[in-house]
Amino acid sequence: KEIFRSLAKLRSLVTIENKLITDLDTHIQVFREFIGTRDAKNLQQDIILVSLRINTLESRLVHAKTAMIAVTDDAHVTHPIHAFHMLKRYVKFWKTLTDDIDSIIVQDLHTFLTKYDDQLPDESDFSGACLAILRLQLTYEISTRDMADGKFIQKTKPDIPPSGMSVDDCYLIGYEAYKANDTHYCVKWMEEGLRRYKEGYSIMPWESSSEIAMLQLKTECLYKADMFNKAWSHFQELSMLDPKNDYVLKNRTTFEAIANTTNNETERLYPPRTVKFKDFNDCCNGKVNHKGNSGLVCYLKHYPTLGFRAFGEEVLHIHPRLVLIHGVIDDHEIDQLKSVAVPKLRASTTSTKSKGSRITPSRVSNTAWLEETDDNILLPRISRRLEAITGLNTENAEPYQLVNYGIGGHFIPHMDVNNANDTIKARVATLLIYLTDVQYGGSTVFDVLGVKVDARKGDAAFWFNLKKSGEFDKDSGHGSCPVLLGEKWIINKWFNYYDQFSKRKCGMSEDE
pLDDT tens-digit series, residues 405-462: 999 999 999 999 775 555 556 888 999 999 999 999 999 999 999 999 999 999 999 9
- Asked if pLDDT for residue 270 goes beyond 60, the answer is no
- Is residue 159 pLDDT above 80, yes or no? no
Average of per-residue pLDDT across 114-141: 90
Percent of the chain with pLDDT over 90: 54
- Helix (H) or strand (E) holding 356, with range, is strand 356-358
Residue-level pLDDT at 104: 46
494-511: pLDDT as tens digits: 998 777 766 666 666 666
pTM for the complete prediction? 0.90
Share the mean pLDDT of the chain: 85
In the predicted model, is pLDDT for residue 187 greater than 70?
Answer: yes
Q: Model confidence at 241, in pLDDT bands (50, 70, 90)?
A: very high
Higher pLDDT among residues 485 and 162, named by residue: 485
What is the mean pLDDT of the segment spanning 232-242?
94
| pLDDT beyond 70 at 169 | yes
Q: Identical fold at 122-274 and 278-500?
A: no
Domain assignments of the chain as residue spans, ordered by start: 1-120, 122-274, 278-500
Looking at domain 122-274, which of 1.25.40.10, 3.40.50.2000, 3.20.20.10, 3.30.413.10 is its CATH number?
1.25.40.10
The CA-based dihedral angle spanning residues 452, 456, 458, 459, taken in that order and rounded to the nearest 10 degrees? -20
Q: Tell me if 80 sits within 8 A of 484, measured CB to CB.
A: yes
Structure confidence at residue 158 as a pLDDT band (50, 70, 90): low
Q: pLDDT tens-digit profile of 358-394?
A: 999 999 999 999 998 877 789 999 999 999 999 998 8
Higher pLDDT, 163 or 372: 372
Span 278-500: which CATH code?
Answer: 2.60.120.620
Q: What is the pLDDT, as a whole number, of residue 470?
A: 78
Residues 6 or more apart whose CB falls under 8 angstroms from that of 134 comprise 173, 176, 177, 180, 182, 185
* 492 strand-pairing partners: 401, 432
- Residue 57 has a pLDDT of 74
Q: How far is CA 109 from CA 30, 95, 101, 175, 461, in A?
A: 11, 11, 10, 31, 50
Over residues 453-476, mean pLDDT: 92
